[in-house]
Structure 1
Amino acid sequence: MRIGYFLSCEEYTPAQLIEQARLAQAAGFKGLWISDHYHPWNDAQGQSPLVWSIIGALSQAVTIPVTTAVTCPIMRTHPAVIAQAAATSAVMHDGRFVLGVGTGEALNEHITGERWPFAEERLDMLAEAVEVMRRLWEGDFVTHHGRYFTVDQARVYTLPATPPKVYVSAFGPKAIEVAARIGDGYISTSPDADLVQQFRQLGGGDKPAQGGFKGCYAPTEDEGVEIAHRLWGTSGVPGELAQVLPSPKHFEQAAQLVTPEMTREALPCGPDPAKHAEKLKAYEAAGFDEVYVANIGPHYADLIDMYRREFL
């Protein structure tokens, strides 16, 4: 199983993200995930740079593969624009760019004032969006009048030698079926062996499965729990709330349901590599080919160095 590093755009400045990428490559991480958000999950995280600017900068800083985890090409940005952005990114990264896609969250996608669709409708929109992007990557003029999207005589001129791979994020049965049908790979933030197996059985075969998790390096476990809970207690918000809440303020309110002890149980906090080993083994046992770890808080150089010593 390959180990990569997850760049959290919600928490770090552009300069810090580039610094982390350089440190990760030097330490031996095999690839990068990068989040694509318009908003952070809460105001304490405090950042949210445009992912395509960071991806362009990364092409001049590292040579390891980069995957968006994940881009939503169905509302905030039209799939024809994402097709151009992904093609340019693949050119700049010499083909080492993967477009990870998903159905998104209202937190980021409602900003244009459009109605937030139901989950099944968003899956149908995603399938059509991927179809549109792949047609544009063929290099011809495209006119498309679909159920959800219209493209009028558009052509992407700057193209990589081979089209970007599209990996699909999925967590439920319907989403897994769509991911297996349209995806070149699978993305998840849960070490769920059943979902990986469903993806493979429904048509995913031996396509790559990428997983990811967060940890919080700190001098002590208690300090790590405090940092992780303050910055990412929102990751413990249950059920479908994460898909429908519209603003960081609402996530802060919902996160009041999450206790520090729940954060302690959910995330590896502190300096102990054994806690990270447990997470890595869980993803490996679930059948993932790659796993990406993000750091929470200011001690990212220490987490990267711990991985260099212990795992890479």
Structure 2
Amino acid sequence: MPRIGAIFTPSFPPEALRGAAQAAEAEGVPELWLWEDCFRESAFAAASAALAWTERLKIGIGVAPMPFRNVAALAMEIATMERLFPGRLIPGVGHGVLSWMGQIGARVASPLTLMREYVPALRSLLAGEEVTFAGRYVSLDQVRLDWPPAQAPVVMAAGEGPKTVRLTGEVADGTILPDGSSPDRVARTLALALEGRTAAGRAGSHELVVFVIAAFGGEEARTAVIDQLQRTKGEVDPALVVAGAPEEVAAAVAPFFDAGATAVILQPRDGEPDLNAFLAGVGAVSRLYA
């Protein structure tokens, strides 16, 4: 079934998260995604709080930068949260913005090598396995979690370039695409990820989550989305103008699902004036896809 969710961007302060998470659950939003942009909010501290404040809401992390954390430490965080809130966390990892990684002295020479080593190690640890591995960036010597999850969560990985996208298919359970990704790009991304999955001899389906900027309301909302796309992307693809009443937004995201997305996560426009109204709109769109 197609999944609709929302994003709590770190442009909102941490103290706004409680109200947003509770509003999302009350409005029937199935999942709320968090970012870990430098140097704003910690994804896992925020996710733990959001899970504790709600009862059914799933929390996605899209994404935590791999260079930030030792893979064993990240596995411990995810495993602890999964045991506390079973089935409600969707963890995602990525390269991290290279300039930010440079600012903290964590920029790696080969982000692809890091992902190739890191994601399989993370998935193995979450599966309760003992891991010994000596790679360029990941080094583990007989490491096993004492408290692994009863059921390991999916591990998503962000990818944009062709090499990274293929690699997400090889090593992760799904791929995350950022905002500005058209339905055509969704289709190309899924094809590349499936190529990687097949090359690795992996069976089963592959998740594809895409973030889509959206606004609810009249012409002002539509103009705001167009202006943001023009400012950030340099051009406006009509397929990315997702605005209007919930029925119009639901129709506008249908091509993303047709292209192979398994989840469309609606992202508030910059300067969204009413986050609760936005979340109410996302809940309405989700019900149209139920």
Taking structure 1 as the reference length, the TM-score comes to: 0.75
CA RMSD in angstroms, aligned pairs only: 3.0
User: Is the partner of 1:134 in helix, strand or coil?
Assistant: helix
| Structure 1 segment 174-213 matched on structure 2, within 5 A | 174-189=163-178, 190=181, 191=183, 192-203=186-197, 205-213=204-212
> Structure 1 residues 134-143 or 22-31, which shifts more?
134-143
Which of the numbers 34, 43, 53 marks the counterpart of 1:51? 43
**Equivalents in 2 of 1:225, 1:216: separation in Å?**
8
For 2:201, the equivalent position in structure 1 comes to none
Contact kept? 1:233, 1:263, Cα under 8 Å: no
Equivalent pairs: percent with the same residue? 23
Contact kept? 1:7, 1:33, Cα under 8 Å: yes
**Equivalents in 1 of 2:237, 2:258: separation in Å?**
23
The answer to whether the aligner puts 1:64 opposite 2:39 as a matched pair is no
Where structure 1 has 5 or more consecutive residues not aligned to the other structure, the ranges are 40-47, 237-257
Query: Number of paired residues?
Result: 273
Contact kept? 1:33, 1:68, Cα under 8 Å: yes
For 1:44, the equivalent position in structure 2 comes to none
1:24 Cα offset (Å): 1.6
User: Is the partner of 1:294 in helix, strand or coil?
Assistant: strand
Q: Structure 1 pair 112/306, CA: closer, same or farther in 2 (3 Å)?
A: closer
1:277 Cα offset (Å): 3.3
Runs of 4+ in 1 over 6 A off after TM superposition: none
The answer to whether the aligner puts 1:306 opposite 2:281 as a matched pair is yes
**Equivalents in 2 of 1:223, 1:98: separation in Å?**
30
Q: Structure 1 pair 26/198, CA: closer, same or farther in 2 (3 Å)?
A: same
Q: Structure 1 pair 279/53, CA: closer, same or farther in 2 (3 Å)?
A: same
For 1:169, the equivalent position in structure 2 comes to 158
User: Is the partner of 2:65 in helix, strand or coil?
Assistant: coil
**Equivalents in 2 of 1:23, 1:134: separation in Å?**
32
Contact kept? 2:133, 2:140, Cα under 8 Å: yes
| Structure 1 segment 76-115 matched on structure 2, within 5 A | 76-115=68-107
**Equivalents in 2 of 1:77, 1:135: separation in Å?**
17
Where structure 2 has 5 or more consecutive residues not aligned to the other structure, the ranges are 199-203
> Structure 1 residues 277-286 or 136-145, which shifts more?
136-145
1:156 Cα offset (Å): 3.0
For 2:25, the equivalent position in structure 1 comes to 25
**Equivalents in 2 of 1:213, 1:196: separation in Å?**
16
| Structure 1 segment 226-305 matched on structure 2, within 5 A | 229=228, 235-236=232-233, 258=234, 262=236, 266-268=240-242, 271-273=244-246, 276-296=249-269, 297-305=272-280
1:265 Cα offset (Å): 8.6
User: Is the partner of 2:210 in helix, strand or coil?
Assistant: strand
**Equivalents in 1 of 2:165, 2:107: separation in Å?**
24
The amino acid of 2:75's aligned partner reads: A
Contact kept? 1:218, 1:299, Cα under 8 Å: no
1:83 Cα offset (Å): 1.4
1:126 Cα offset (Å): 1.0
**Equivalents in 2 of 1:289, 1:226: separation in Å?**
23
Q: Structure 1 pair 115/156, CA: closer, same or farther in 2 (3 Å)?
A: same
**Equivalents in 2 of 1:3, 1:115: separation in Å?**
33
The amino acid of 2:259's aligned partner reads: A
The answer to whether the aligner puts 1:136 opposite 2:125 as a matched pair is yes
**Equivalents in 1 of 2:268, 2:96: separation in Å?**
22
User: Is the partner of 1:90 in helix, strand or coil?
Assistant: helix
User: Is the partner of 1:165 in helix, strand or coil?
Assistant: coil
**Equivalents in 1 of 2:231, 2:115: separation in Å?**
25
Cα deviation 1:86-129 (Å, max 9, x = unaligned): 11221222132122122121243223224453xxx201111111
